[in-house]
Amino acid sequence: MTELAFHNSATRQRESFVPLDPQHVRLYVCGPTVYDLAHLGNARPVVVFDVLARLLRRRFDCVTYVRNITDVDDKINARSQESGEPISAITARTTADFHRDMAALGCEPPDEEPRATDNIAQMIELIERLIANGHAYAAEGHVLFSVSSFPGYGALSGRSPDEMLAGARVEVAPYKREAGDFVLWKPSADDLPGWDSPWGRGRPGWHIECSAMSWRYLGPDFDIHGGGHDLLFPHHENEQAQSVCAFPGSRFARTWLHNGMLLVDGEKMSKSVGNFLTVRDILGRGAWAGEAFRLLLLKTHYRAALDYTVERLDEAKGELDDFYALLARDLPTPAEDDALVAEMAEWALEPLADDLNTPLALARLRDLRTLENVATVGGSATTVLHRVGRDWTPVSGQAAAALRQAAAVLGLLGSDARAWRQAGTDDSAAIEAAIEARLAARRVKDWAEADRIRNALAAQGVVLEDGAGGTTWRKA
Ligand SMILES: [Zn+2]
Q: Is 132 left (phi over 0), alpha (psi -120 to 50) or beta?
A: alpha
Could you tell me the distance, in angstroms and rounded to a whole number, from the CA of residue 468 to the centre of ligand 1?
A: 54
Annotated binding site for Zn(2+): 30, 210, 235, 239
- Number of domains the chain is built from: 3
Residue range(s) defining the domain that contains residue 449:
425-475
160 falls within a domain: yes
273 falls within a domain: no
The answer, yes or no, to whether residue 195 has pLDDT greater than 80, is yes
The answer, yes or no, to whether residue 228 has pLDDT greater than 60, is yes
Average pLDDT over residues 46-53: 98
Could you tell me the distance, in angstroms and rounded to a whole number, from the CA of residue 211 to the centre of ligand 1?
A: 7
The answer, yes or no, to whether residue 284 has pLDDT greater than 60, is yes
Is the same domain home to 378 and 438?
no
Is the same domain home to 407 and 432?
no
Average pLDDT over residues 408-429: 84
Could you tell me the distance, in angstroms and rounded to a whole number, from the CA of residue 444 to the centre of ligand 1?
A: 69
466: β partners? 471
Could you tell me the distance, in angstroms and rounded to a whole number, from the CA of residue 338 to the centre of ligand 1?
A: 43
**CA 239 to CA 247: how far, in whole Å?**
12
Is the same domain home to 229 and 306?
no
The answer, yes or no, to whether residue 66 has pLDDT greater than 90, is yes
Considering the chain, what is the average pLDDT of its residues?
94
Cis preceding linkage at 234, omega within 30: yes
CA neighbor of 414 nearest in space, from 403, 426, 425: 403
Is the same domain home to 45 and 192?
yes
Share of the chain above pLDDT 90, in %: 80
Is the same domain home to 189 and 254?
yes
Average pLDDT over residues 358-364: 98
The CATH number assigned to the domain holding 305 equals 1.10.730
Could you tell me the distance, in angstroms and rounded to a whole number, from the CA of residue 22 to the centre of ligand 1?
A: 25
220 falls within a domain: yes
User: Of the spans 129-143, 270-284, 378-392, which averages the highest pLDDT?
Assistant: 129-143
Q: What is the DSSP letter of 330?
A: -
Model confidence, pTM:
0.89
Could you tell me the distance, in angstroms and rounded to a whole number, from the CA of residue 30 to the centre of ligand 1?
A: 4
Could you tell me the distance, in angstroms and rounded to a whole number, from the CA of residue 207 to the centre of ligand 1?
A: 6
**CA 183 to CA 175: how far, in whole Å?**
10
Average pLDDT over residues 153-178: 84
Annotated binding site for ATP: 271
Average pLDDT over residues 348-376: 97
Is the same domain home to 92 and 143?
yes
Could you tell me the distance, in angstroms and rounded to a whole number, from the CA of residue 154 to the centre of ligand 1?
A: 16
CB atoms within 5 A of ion ligand 1 belong to 30, 210
Q: For residue 426, what pLDDT band results from cuts at 50, 70 and 90?
A: low
SS (H, E, C) 56-102: HHHHCCEEEEEECEECCCHHHHHHHHHHCCCHHHHHHHHHHHHHHHH
Is the same domain home to 98 and 201?
yes
Average pLDDT over residues 440-451: 85
450 falls within a domain: yes
Is the same domain home to 347 and 214?
no
Could you tell me the distance, in angstroms and rounded to a whole number, from the CA of residue 222 to the centre of ligand 1?
A: 14
Question: In one letter, which amino acid is 363?
Answer: A
Burial 195-228 (b: 16+ CB within 10 A, else e): bebebeebbbbbbbbbbbbbbbbbebbbbbbbbb
The CATH number assigned to the domain holding 148 equals 3.40.50.620
Annotated binding site: 30, 210, 235, 239, 271
Could you tell me the distance, in angstroms and rounded to a whole number, from the CA of residue 240 to the centre of ligand 1?
A: 10
Could you tell me the distance, in angstroms and rounded to a whole number, from the CA of residue 192 to the centre of ligand 1?
A: 22
The answer, yes or no, to whether residue 453 has pLDDT greater than 90, is no
Q: For residue 68, what pLDDT band results from cuts at 50, 70 and 90?
A: very high
Could you tell me the distance, in angstroms and rounded to a whole number, from the CA of residue 111 to the centre of ligand 1?
A: 17
Is the same domain home to 35 and 140?
yes
187 falls within a domain: yes
Is the same domain home to 377 and 442?
no
Is the same domain home to 62 and 169?
yes
9 falls within a domain: no
Angle at 229 between CA 212 and CA 219, to 5 degrees: 25
268 falls within a domain: no
The lowest-confidence range among 145-149, 174-178, 194-198, 241-245 is 174-178
Is the same domain home to 100 and 245?
yes
156 falls within a domain: yes
Could you tell me the distance, in angstroms and rounded to a whole number, from the CA of residue 163 to the centre of ligand 1?
A: 21
